[in-house]
A and B are shown apart, each in its own frame.
Chain A
Amino acid sequence: MASASTTAVATGPSFVRQKILLGMNGRDYLKSLVTPNNLIITAILVAGLPVLAWRFIAGLGAVTNLSQTAPWGIWIGFDMMTGIVLAAGGFTIGSAVQIFNLKDYHPIERPAILTAFLGYVMAIFGLLADLGRPWNIVMALVSNGAASVLYEVAWCVMCYSTVLALEFSVPLFEWLGWKKLHSIMKKTLVALTVLSVIFSTMHQSALGSLFLLAPTKLHPLWYTPYIFVFFFVSAIIAGLSMVIVESFLSHKAFASQLKGAHFDLDKLTLGLGRAAAIVMFAYFFLKLQGVVDGHTWGYLATGYGAWWLVETVGFGLVPALLCAWGARNGSVKAVRIGGAMGVLSIALNRLNMSVIAFNWNEPVRYFPSWQEVLVSLTLCTLGVVLFRFIVNRMPILKEDPAFPQEH
């Protein structure tokens, strides 16, 4: 056996073949790519990427329904606002493991950080597509706009994306086998996690602060002077819920990588459900307090009020109770359904804030064009493809035997 492995190393496959093509030769690898899922993915990308390119050639007006009165469409409401909030799993789990020392959650930390990183990358793509003159974004680096909320948002995005990239570099260096750089980055992980909490807190809440500038444009049921607090608390819900959902999906999709792993995902899911239930419960009362504080309960009897109740009770209180019941009775299924509803609830909240309940009293309302929907779908698909590409190669779910993890 010893001699066999020595020869394998001596005549071992090339870097590309081993690291990129999963040990197959080019032909076999291409063959392995022909699957029904990949056909759907290819169809979406073939349709969506030209539309994205056309937006940069012909301008926003050519592909979007945006106007002077409705400058924010789903590229902001969905790609940016929702993409960022669903990336909150990175700092939520990161701080649980690195700062609060809940080492049990270590096995789901890397997928959470990868999800956050890709979420941010896709949100930035969406933002660049939405900006009228995207090349001017570099001005945020050199201009002094400290009185502007957008200035804070821009800096937070840049800083946090950098921190996420550095956090992600730990598995990346393991994959490349660069031991020296890896050991340096690993030592900085606690510091990076502290930074990630700082920048996330600022960024999630600053996205809410943007709406402080538009008290008359946002529907009174959603507008409150404490909007940035709501954004931060709901980001924690989104982070926990997203990790519940993402860990379930990736463990289904990548089951072969988890052979011999010594951790119990069901137990971790119940723990996450416990935390999510408590934050969701608190957030529900915060939302109620927002209405009471703004004296806007009269609006509850209107159509927008019904919609608000769908978001707050249907997707807010109900998943809180589901997660609580599931965590207490050991029902992982209930927690997963609650987690999925939690993800939907926060995504719905961000869409309501920036698209549906925004400019609610304008005579002509914005509705996204099919090109806008297609581009959003394309970006999501790209995120999933990148996630799959990385998880299949790098030590995200599985451990690299050359780099044992301490638990």
Chain B
Amino acid sequence: MTFDLLSIYPAKLMEYGLGVGYMLLFIPFWRYVQGSAKPAEATVRVPGHAPAMAREKRAPAATAPAYGWFQIPAGLKLHPGHTWARVEDDGVVTVGMDDFAQKLVGPARVALPSVGARVAQGEAAFEVATGNGSVPMLSPVEGTVVAVNEAARASAETLSEPYGKGWLFKVKAPRLARDLRQLISDNAATRFLEGAAETLAAQMSPQLGQVLQDGGAPILGIGPEIAGEKWTDLARKFFLT
């Protein structure tokens, strides 16, 4: 009983049956493993048919709990030059500057690209300017600009909600998957902003170390506040331009 000697045909049938069965099962298994159901992103996504205002109001509500000075909503993709990208339901990518950039620069004007312009990942795409000079900022994705936030261009106040109504422009990105691989999100993005905050704290009081973290949140316009007219040099360091 222990060593069953079958005739050749049933034995081969079992071998090939197992082989073919394995391959047939492997396809759904592979698809199951490769697919993902990420709850973090699902909470941020707002139905495409929702009115634009509703979307803008709801996006900040999904903001991750404040961990320090600067915030970033879950699921948002961050570029190291302090700009963010969010893939909308229709596949278009919304771009803006992050909380850190907004607080660093303070009330500012933005010079946005025109609709139809090409932007490239990691290359200057728009400028922020105060009365004391302007600094270029990088685009987080590559593609063609399909919409520009006129409200943000017109009033500095709009920018104070960097992840909501302060979005800057929308891009049709043909090589999105490749671009997104270069961006950081979730925990890594949080840590990145923490790192930037630490660097900034060191800039604010180099002789004392990190005392400012002991109390108080940063004000709007930290750059002009601590570096005066030289704020553009400081901002360029952080924005990688």
The chain A residues found within 8 Å of chain B, CB to CB, are 1, 220, 260-264, 266-267, 274, 277-278, 281-282, 285, 288-289, 292-293, 295-299, 302, 324, 327-330
Whole-angstrom distance between the alpha carbons of A151 and B16 in the complex?
Answer: 36
A299 near B33: Cβ-Cβ < 8 Å:
no
CB nearest neighbor in B for A325: B32
CB nearest neighbor in B for A305: B2
Q: Closest 6 interchain pairs by CB?
A: A285-B22, A264-B188, A298-B2, A324-B33, A264-B187, A298-B4
Q: A1-B206, A295-B3 are in contact. Are A278 and B33 (CB under 8 A)?
A: yes
B29 near A281: Cβ-Cβ < 8 Å:
yes
CB nearest neighbor in A for B23: A285
Summed over the interface, the residue pairs from A and B with CB atoms below 8 Å come to a total of: 74
Q: A1-B207, A263-B188, A330-B39 are in contact. Are A220 and B3 (CB under 8 A)?
A: yes
Cβ of B37 under 8 Å from chain A: yes
Cβ of B54 under 8 Å from chain A: no
Cβ of B1 under 8 Å from chain A: yes
CB-defined A-B contacts under 8 Å, sample of 27: A260-B191, A260-B194, A260-B195, A261-B191, A262-B184, A262-B195, A264-B188, A267-B186, A267-B188, A277-B29, A278-B30, A285-B22, A288-B18, A289-B19, A289-B22, A292-B14, A292-B18, A295-B11, A296-B3, A299-B2, A302-B2, A324-B29, A327-B36, A328-B35, A328-B36, A329-B37, A330-B40
The chain B residues found within 8 Å of chain A, CB to CB, are 1-6, 11, 14-15, 18-19, 22, 26, 29-30, 32-40, 184, 186-188, 191-192, 194-195, 198, 206-207
Whole-angstrom distance between the alpha carbons of A292 and B1 in the complex?
Answer: 15
Contacts A262-B191, A262-B195, A302-B2 supplied; 15 other A-B pairs, CB < 8 Å: A1-B206, A260-B194, A261-B191, A264-B186, A267-B188, A274-B34, A277-B29, A277-B33, A278-B33, A285-B18, A289-B19, A289-B22, A295-B4, A298-B3, A324-B32
Q: Choose among A263, A264, A281, A296 the residue that contacts B26 (Cβ–Cβ < 8 A).
A: A281
B188 near A262: Cβ-Cβ < 8 Å:
yes
Residues on A with C-beta less than 8 A from B186 are 264, 267
Residues on A with C-beta less than 8 A from B198 are 260
Whole-angstrom distance between the alpha carbons of A302 and B206 in the complex?
Answer: 74
Q: Choose among A274, A298, A330 the residue that contacts B38 (Cβ–Cβ < 8 A).
A: A330
Residues on A with C-beta less than 8 A from B195 are 260, 262
Whole-angstrom distance between the alpha carbons of A266 and B30 in the complex?
Answer: 21
Residue with the highest number of chain A CB atoms closer than 10 Å, among B191, B195, B206: B191
Residues on A with C-beta less than 8 A from B5 are 295
Whole-angstrom distance between the alpha carbons of A299 and B14 in the complex?
Answer: 17
Q: Choose among A1, A262, A297 the residue that contacts B4 (Cβ–Cβ < 8 A).
A: A297
Whole-angstrom distance between the alpha carbons of A260 and B201 in the complex?
Answer: 14
With both chains docked as a complex, state the minimum distance between the C-beta of B6 and any C-beta of chain A, in angstroms. 6
With both chains docked as a complex, state the minimum distance between the C-beta of B5 and any C-beta of chain A, in angstroms. 7
Residues on B with C-beta less than 8 A from A330 are 36-40
Residue with the highest number of chain A CB atoms closer than 10 Å, among B1, B15, B32, B33: B33
Q: A285-B22, A330-B39 are in contact. Are A278 and B29 (CB under 8 A)?
A: yes
With both chains docked as a complex, state the minimum distance between the C-beta of A186 and any C-beta of chain B, in angstroms. 23
Residues on A with C-beta less than 8 A from B14 are 292
Whole-angstrom distance between the alpha carbons of A340 and B6 in the complex?
Answer: 39
CB nearest neighbor in B for A284: B22
A328 near B37: Cβ-Cβ < 8 Å:
yes
Residues on A with C-beta less than 8 A from B6 are 295
With both chains docked as a complex, state the minimum distance between the C-beta of B33 and any C-beta of chain A, in angstroms. 5
Residues on B with C-beta less than 8 A from A298 are 1-4
With both chains docked as a complex, state the minimum distance between the C-beta of A386 and any C-beta of chain B, in angstroms. 30
B18 near A282: Cβ-Cβ < 8 Å:
no
